[in-house]
């Protein structure tokens, strides 16, 4: 009896000693390892049996939790560049298992465009989703924005917005389609898009992400309005933002939430040294993200 | 046969299988919380999770109840006493099968109601973009039940030839996995992508496609989760397929079992 | 009509590596209505194999058999009998009462009769107090008694019992013997297997001995007992008469009062005549015979 009790006690002590390094080890595992490798989709489909939707959802959640963890760690700043390639691969795997999974499209859209600049990849994924989610106005709305804002393909954008407008029944997309289909409307287009995203977002990490971006664009828009006032009253575009502030056109002074400095380009276009991103993402690792799509 | 069904149900309940399921079903409580992890489809995710949990529980039931029912009776020598009674072997087998299938249906109904409550709760907190089509959800669970009843019939067929516990259990799991992919394999070998495959392989795969049960037709999860319409024609064909396939499996099982020697 | 009619029953098992084992080598046996038949044989002789064939649990390789005119293997052949398997096991999650009700239902007993008979048999086999408990908690003897109860619930005309006494304590054995004798009184037929000769001698009308798949002996208990008489033990008073005249007979035992002679059957009359002539006082005559046990051992020995 005493023997059993002491063995149990030793076991408990060993567990206590072991559990901390064990948890730390798992916690600090490389991110690629954490996200896991998605086996080939046909193999995955076989193993998933009749639980394809569940497996797809778990893949999406895995990416989400991973991303959410990164954002939270650095207090809404992405100090460590996320492994976007693995994220993209997992999400692509997810929609092959469950082509209706909206989370996958939505999340892929959120980082493939601004952060990774894989606009074509993003739109291909959205096109794939549109074949299944035939009722969903979000997908053409995203694709339309990508086409207009990033790809400058206004014809394609108009098509997408048309479809989004028909599906949603609201004027939002139609409005966007009419007003911003030109180079000069870019900032307002982004604000319109981001406002819609912030409003519909429940996930705090993503909402914060959108909010920061929206603030940045709202600041940029404020500068644009001030710049236009300046031109009206002085008959010339200012060379520096400081002129707008000192001239009383812009108050308070603009602040880039990404930590950069706003400046005016030669033609008066508003830009920022942060390029609307916290950290520079190594593009090298992201080239491969596109391969995933082709492989399927 | 009805007495055997009654005895079978009693046995399953007395073995506390139902209580075990109810404990597992406590996981339903976690689902609304888990589903809020989703960004754009909280209700859809809660439906996915509930349907998956039900499916999983039924898979376990059909593999372990279906695969061990006959084995246990033979192993524990119950067959000597029961088959010495004026019961036909066929009646005994069908009674065992019927009792197990009925229990599965009962579990599905109870879990289905629980799932409905969970999903309705989630939907009230996070209204979905598209309304939940409750009829499709019920249909999805029903077809899941049919699928697992078919699996039970497979387990029984394997049990009639096997003397061990492992063959029925692992044979049933293997059949379940194979039956889930036969459609994909069939589509693959009939697509241009498979032109490098040897004709013998293709014929073998086609043969297996017709031989093995096809479970993909019973899977209405995607329809239930995203409220997609279900083709009535397809449902009718699937039910007919179920009836014929289960009928064949049971008649083979009965034929083998009535010839089996109870040594 | 014979309740059991076995003709040329053969059973060949295929063992490991395709070896053939002949478990039954042509059994011919007829059991008449109202007969108590003891089926004797050493372990592995084919008793259970014969019974399993009768119950349709295994299929004979050759030969036929019928129970009450119904070919074995059919549901009808099992409809009018009570069967107790060897070392029986019953659904242990059921109570004895539930199991008896289940058995009664398979025999299509009407509800009221079933309830009455279940109560009667449970009381008769002293299972009344345990009737509401699941059988997984029963002792071996209790399970054996449930086994007997389930053969009796529908009051069949024929009982086929495989080792009904095994697993029972002496009180249980006595109970079973009483039950069988009671069945006999009521004109029922009983076919039971055993390897204990004592059981047979007390209750059976007829005995069959099976050794290595063959029926080596088949006779009434009465005949066996009669044939088994070897001679007599005759006790005489030492103090009376002339014992020298009896010198031709073997003295089995002697003390200060008596001399005991062993007298073969053939010499009995001569002995009695001589004793009369020489005034020897015969105080006791006792039959000396082989018991069934030695009869059985002899047959088994021959078969080897």
pLDDT per residue over C137-152, tens digit each?
Answer: 999 999 999 999 999 9
User: Taking a C-beta distance cutoff of 8 angstroms, is the pair A90, A59 a contact?
Assistant: yes
> In the beta sheet, which residues pair with residue C67?
C4, C70
Please say which residue of C195, C225, C255 terminates a domain: C225
Torsion (CA) C237, C241, C247, C253 in degrees, nearest 10: 10
Minimum CA–CA partner of A110 in chain B: B39
pLDDT at A293 over 50: no
Same domain, A53 and A12: no
Same domain, C124 and C251: no
- All residues of chain B having their beta carbon less than 8 Å from the beta carbon of residue A63 are none
Confidence of residue B102 (pLDDT cuts 50, 70, 90): very high
- All residues of chain C having their beta carbon less than 8 Å from the beta carbon of residue B87 are 75, 106
Q: Is residue A154 assigned to a domain? A: yes
Q: Which of B168, B136, B137 is nearest to B152 (CA)?
A: B168
Q: Given this model, what pLDDT does residue A30 score?
A: 59
Q: How many domains does chain C have?
A: 2
Same domain, A8 and A86: no
Same domain, A25 and A112: no
Same domain, A55 and A174: yes
pLDDT at A32 over 80: no
> What residue has token string 């047979």?
C200
Question: What does the pLDDT average to over B101-122?
Answer: 94
Token code pair at residue A13: 């002590």
Same domain, C213 and C248: no
Token code pair at residue A49: 């049996």
Same domain, C70 and C84: yes
* pLDDT per position as a tens digit, A160-174: 887 887 787 665 655
How many whole angstroms separate alpha carbon C231 and alpha carbon C289? 7
Q: Given this model, what pLDDT does residue A287 score?
A: 40
Minimum CA–CA partner of B84 in chain C: C55
Question: What does the pLDDT average to over C190-200?
Answer: 85
* pLDDT per position as a tens digit, C12-38: 988 777 888 888 999 999 999 999 999
Question: What does the pLDDT average to over A175-193?
Answer: 67
Burial of residue C185, with CB atoms counted within 10 A of its CB: 0-12 exposed, 13-18 middle, 19 or more buried: exposed
Same domain, C181 and C87: yes
Q: B195: which DSSP letter?
A: T
Confidence of residue C116 (pLDDT cuts 50, 70, 90): very high
Token code pair at residue C220: 């009434």
Same domain, A37 and A25: no
Of A120-124, A188-192, C40-44, the one with minimum mean pLDDT is: A188-192
Please say which residue of C190, C208, C225 terminates a domain: C225
Residues 50-109 of A with CB under 8 A from B: 50-54, 57, 60-61, 64-65, 98, 100-103, 106-107
Cβ separation A136–B180 shorter than 8 A: no
Of A49-53, A80-84, A153-157, A247-251, the one with minimum mean pLDDT is: A80-84
pLDDT at A231 over 70: yes
Burial of residue A77, with CB atoms counted within 10 A of its CB: 0-12 exposed, 13-18 middle, 19 or more buried: middle
Q: Among A6-20, B92-106, B171-185, C224-238, which range has the highest average pLDDT?
A: B92-106
Residue C229 CB: number of other CB atoms within 10 A? 13
pLDDT at C94 over 60: yes
For residue A166, what are the CA distances in angstroms to A192, B65, B88, B159, C149? 18, 52, 65, 57, 79
Cβ separation B225–A100 shorter than 8 A: yes
- Of A170 and A295, the structure prediction assigns the larger pLDDT to A170
Q: Which of C171, C168, C170, C169 is nearest to C148 (CA)?
A: C168
Same domain, C219 and C237: no
User: Residue C185 sits in a domain of what CATH number?
Assistant: 3.40.50.300
Cβ separation B86–C58 shorter than 8 A: no
How many whole angstroms separate alpha carbon A64 and alpha carbon A70? 10
Cβ separation B48–A54 shorter than 8 A: yes
Average pLDDT, rounded, for chain B:
90
Same domain, C199 and C241: no
Q: Given this model, what pLDDT does residue C52 score?
A: 94
Token code pair at residue C105: 């239902």
Q: What are phi and psi of C8, to 5 degrees?
A: 55, 40
Work out the minimum CA distance from B236 to partner chain A, whole angstroms: 20
Q: Is residue A260 assigned to a domain? A: no
Minimum CA–CA partner of B85 in chain C: C78
Reported ipTM: 0.87
Cβ separation B226–A133 shorter than 8 A: yes
Same domain, C216 and C261: no
Burial of residue C192, with CB atoms counted within 10 A of its CB: 0-12 exposed, 13-18 middle, 19 or more buried: buried
Confidence of residue A280 (pLDDT cuts 50, 70, 90): very low
Confidence of residue A237 (pLDDT cuts 50, 70, 90): confident
Average pLDDT, rounded, for chain A:
78
Q: Is residue A50 assigned to a domain? A: yes
Q: Given this model, what pLDDT does residue A71 score?
A: 64
Same domain, A132 and A49: yes
How many whole angstroms separate alpha carbon A112 and alpha carbon A88? 8
- Whether A45 and chain B come into contact, CB under 8 Å, resolves to yes
- Whether B40 and chain A come into contact, CB under 8 Å, resolves to yes
> In the beta sheet, which residues pair with residue C62?
C10
Q: Which helix (H) or strand (E) holds C283?
A: strand C282-289
pLDDT at A57 over 80: yes
Q: Is residue A94 assigned to a domain? A: yes
Same domain, A14 and A56: no
Please say which residue of C204, C225, C246 terminates a domain: C225
Confidence of residue A183 (pLDDT cuts 50, 70, 90): low
Structural domain boundaries in chain B: 2-259
For residue B131, what are the CA distances in angstroms to A58, B121, B124? 23, 13, 11
User: Taking a C-beta distance cutoff of 8 angstroms, is the pair C145, C172 a contact?
Assistant: yes
Minimum CA–CA partner of C75 in chain B: B86
Q: Which of B15, B85, B259 sits opposite C106 (nearest CB)?
A: B85
Confidence of residue B182 (pLDDT cuts 50, 70, 90): confident
Q: Is residue A132 assigned to a domain? A: yes
Confidence of residue A177 (pLDDT cuts 50, 70, 90): low
Q: What are phi and psi of A116, to 5 degrees?
A: -100, -20
- DSSP character string of chain A: -HHHHHHHHHHHHHHHHHHHHHHHHHHTS-HHHHH-PPPPHHHHHHHHTT-HHHHHHHHHHHHHHHHHHHHHHTTTS--SPP-HHHHHHHHHHHHHH-TT-HHHHHHHHHHHTTTT--HHHHHHHHHHHHHH-TT-SHHHHHHHHIIIIIS--HHHHHHHHHHHHHHH-SSHHHHHHHHS-SGGGHHHHHHHHHHHHHHH---HHHHHHHHHHHHHHHHHHHHHHHHHHHHHHHSS--SSHHHHHHTTSSSS----TTS--EEE-TTS-EEETTTT-SSPPPSHHHHTHHHHHHH-
Q: How many domains does chain A have?
A: 2
Same domain, A122 and A62: yes
CA B122 remoteness from chain centre = 27
Burial of residue B113, with CB atoms counted within 10 A of its CB: 0-12 exposed, 13-18 middle, 19 or more buried: exposed
Token code pair at residue A151: 């790809």
Same domain, C101 and C200: yes
> What residue has token string 């029922």?
C188
Q: Among B39-53, C100-114, C224-238, which range has the highest average pLDDT?
A: C100-114
Contacts 24+ apart (CB under 8 A), A218-226: A218/A191, A219/A254, A219/A255, A219/A256, A219/A257, A219/A262, A220/A187, A220/A254, A220/A262, A220/A270, A220/A272, A221/A187, A221/A188, A221/A191, A222/A250, A222/A254, A223/A250, A223/A254, A223/A262, A223/A264, A223/A270, A224/A187, A224/A270, A226/A250
User: Taking a C-beta distance cutoff of 8 angstroms, is the pair C242, C278 a contact?
Assistant: yes
- As a residue count, chain A comes to 296
Same domain, A73 and A126: yes
Q: What are phi and psi of C183, to 5 degrees?
A: -60, -40
Same domain, C120 and C195: yes
User: Taking a C-beta distance cutoff of 8 angstroms, is the pair B136, B227 a contact?
Assistant: yes
Q: Is residue A248 assigned to a domain? A: no
Same domain, C128 and C184: yes
How many whole angstroms separate alpha carbon A98 and alpha carbon A53? 5
* Domain of residue C83, residue span: 2-225
- All residues of chain B having their beta carbon less than 8 Å from the beta carbon of residue C59 are 259, 261
How many whole angstroms separate alpha carbon A116 and alpha carbon A150? 12
Q: Given this model, what pLDDT does residue B142 score?
A: 96
pLDDT at A179 over 70: no
Same domain, C11 and C101: yes
Residue C24 CB: number of other CB atoms within 10 A? 26
* pLDDT per position as a tens digit, B133-175: 999 999 999 999 999 999 999 999 999 988 888 999 999 999 9
Question: What does the pLDDT average to over A114-123?
Answer: 85
Q: Given this model, what pLDDT does residue A292 score?
A: 37
Any contact of C with A, at least 3 CB pairs below 8 A? Answer: no
Q: Is residue A6 assigned to a domain? A: yes
User: Taking a C-beta distance cutoff of 8 angstroms, is the pair C57, C217 a contact?
Assistant: no
pLDDT at A294 over 50: no
Same domain, A204 and A66: yes
Q: Residue B16: left (phi > 0), alpha (psi -120 to 50), or beta?
A: left
User: Residue A122 sits in a domain of what CATH number?
Assistant: 1.25.40.10
* Domain of residue A20, residue span: 1-31
pLDDT at C41 over 90: no
Same domain, A5 and A57: no
Q: Given this model, what pLDDT does residue A281 score?
A: 42
Same domain, A101 and A206: yes
Confidence of residue A185 (pLDDT cuts 50, 70, 90): confident
Cβ separation C98–B84 shorter than 8 A: no
Q: C244: which DSSP letter?
A: G
Same domain, C166 and C251: no
Q: C134: which DSSP letter?
A: B
Minimum CA–CA partner of A44 in chain B: B181
* pLDDT per position as a tens digit, A61-107: 888 878 777 765 545 455 566 778 888 888 888 898 899 998 899 88
Burial of residue A170, with CB atoms counted within 10 A of its CB: 0-12 exposed, 13-18 middle, 19 or more buried: exposed
Work out the minimum CA distance from B135 to partner chain C, whole angstroms: 39
Sign of CA dihedral A12, A16, A18, A19: positive
Minimum CA–CA partner of A106 in chain B: B40
Q: Given this model, what pLDDT does residue A282 score?
A: 40
């Amino acid at each position: 009896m005493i023997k059993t009790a002491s063995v149990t006690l030793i076991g408990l002590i060993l567990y206590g000693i072991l559990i901390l390094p064990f948890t730390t080890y798992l916690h600090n595992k490389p991110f690629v390892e954490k996200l896991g490798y998605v086996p080939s989709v046909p193999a995955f489909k076989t193993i998933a049996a009749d639980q394809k939707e569940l497996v797809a959802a778990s893949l999406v959640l895995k990416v989400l939790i991973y991303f959410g963890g990164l954002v939270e760690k650095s207090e809404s700043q992405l100090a460590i560049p996320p492994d976007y390639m693995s994220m993209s691969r997992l999400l692509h795997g997810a929609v092959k298992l469950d082509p209706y999974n909206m989370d996958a499209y939505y999340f892929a859209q959120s980082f493939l465009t601004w952060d990774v600049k894989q606009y074509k990849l993003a739109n291909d994924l959205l096109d794939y989703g549109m074949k299944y989610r035939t009722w969903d106005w979000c997908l053409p709305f995203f694709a339309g924005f990508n086409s207009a804002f990033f790809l400058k393909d206004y014809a394609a954008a108009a098509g997408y917005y048309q479809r989004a407008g028909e599906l949603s029944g609201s004027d939002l997309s139609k409005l966007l389609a009419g007003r911003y289909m030109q180079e000069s409307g870019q900032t307002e287009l982004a604000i319109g898009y981001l406002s819609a995203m912030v409003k519909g977002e429940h996930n705090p990490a993503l909402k914060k992400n959108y909010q920061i971006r929206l603030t940045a664009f709202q600041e940029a828009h404020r500068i644009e309005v001030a710049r236009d006032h300046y031109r009206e009253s002085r008959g010339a575009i200012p060379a520096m933002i400081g002129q707008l502030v000192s001239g009383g056109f812009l108050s308070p002074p603009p602040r880039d939430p990404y930590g950069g400095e706003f400046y005016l380009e030669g033609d008066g276009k508003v830009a920022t040294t942060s390029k609307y991103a916290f950290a520079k993402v190594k593009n090298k690792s992201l080239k491969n993200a596109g391969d995933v799509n082709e492989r399927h | 046969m009805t007495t055997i069904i009654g005895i079978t149900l009693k046995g399953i309940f007395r073995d506390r299988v139902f209580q075990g399921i109810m404990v597992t079903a406590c996981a339903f409580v976690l689902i609304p919380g888990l589903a809020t992890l989703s960004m754009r489809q909280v209700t859809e995710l809660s439906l996915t999770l509930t349907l998956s949990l039900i499916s999983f529980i039924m898979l376990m039931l059909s593999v372990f109840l279906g695969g061990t029912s006959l084995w246990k009776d033979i192993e524990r020598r119950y067959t000597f006493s029961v088959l010495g009674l004026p019961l036909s072997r066929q009646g005994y087998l069908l009674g065992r099968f019927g009792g197990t299938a009925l229990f599965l249906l009962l579990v599905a109904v109870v879990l289905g109601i629980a799932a409905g409550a969970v999903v309705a709760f989630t939907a009230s907190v996070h209204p979905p973009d598209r309304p939940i089509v409750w009829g499709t959800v019920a249909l999805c669970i029903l077809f899941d039940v049919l699928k697992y009843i078919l699996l039970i019939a497979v387990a029984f067929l394997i049990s009639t030839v096997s003397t061990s516990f492992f063959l029925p259990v692992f044979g049933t799991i293997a059949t379940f996995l194979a039956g889930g992919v036969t459609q994909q394999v069939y589509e693959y070998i009939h697509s241009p992508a498979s032109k490098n495959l040897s004709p013998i392989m293709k014929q073998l795969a086609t043969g297996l496609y017709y031989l093995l049960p096809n479970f993909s037709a019973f899977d209405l999860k995607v329809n239930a989760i995203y409220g997609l319409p279900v083709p009535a024609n397809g449902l009718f064909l699937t039910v007919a397929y179920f009836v014929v396939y289960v009928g064949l499996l049971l008649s083979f099982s009965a034929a083998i079992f009535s010839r089996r020697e109870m040594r | 009509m014979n309740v059991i009619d076995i003709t040329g029953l053969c059973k060949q098992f295929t063992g490991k590596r395709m070896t053939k084992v002949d478990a039954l080598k042509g059994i011919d046996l007829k059991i008449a209505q109202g007969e108590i038949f003891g089926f004797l044989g050493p372990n592995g002789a084919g008793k259970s194999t014969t019974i399993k064939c009768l119950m349709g649990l295994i299929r004979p390789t050759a030969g036929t058999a019928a129970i009450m005119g119904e070919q074995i293997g059919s549901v009808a052949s099992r409809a009018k009998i009570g069967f107790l398997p060897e070392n029986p096991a019953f659904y242990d999650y059921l109570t004895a009462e539930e199991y008896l009700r289940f058995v009664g239902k398979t025999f299509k007993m009407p509800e009221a009769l079933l309830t009455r008979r279940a109560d009667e048999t449970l009381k008769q086999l002293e299972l009344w107090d345990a009737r509401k408990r699941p059988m997984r908690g029963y002792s071996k003897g209790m399970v054996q008694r449930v086994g007997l109860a389930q053969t009796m619930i529908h009051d069949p005309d024929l009982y086929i019992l495989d080792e009904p006494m095994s697993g029972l304590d002496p009180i249980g054995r006595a109970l079973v013997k009483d039950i069988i004798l009671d069945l006999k009184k009521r004109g029922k037929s009983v076919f039971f297997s055993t390897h204990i000769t004592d059981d047979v001698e007390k209750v059976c009308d007829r005995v069959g001995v099976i050794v290595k798949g063959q029926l080596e002996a088949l006779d009434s208990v009465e005949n066996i007992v009669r044939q088994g008489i070897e001679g007599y033990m005759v006790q005489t008073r030492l103090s009376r008469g002339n014992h020298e005249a009896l010198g031709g007979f073997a003295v089995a035992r002697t003390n200060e009062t008596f001399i005991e002679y062993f007298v073969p059957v053939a010499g009995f009359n001569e002995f009695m005549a001589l004793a009369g002539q020489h005034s020897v006082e015969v105080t006791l005559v006792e039959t000396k015979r082989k018991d069934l046990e030695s009869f059985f051992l002899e047959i088994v020995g021959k078969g080897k």
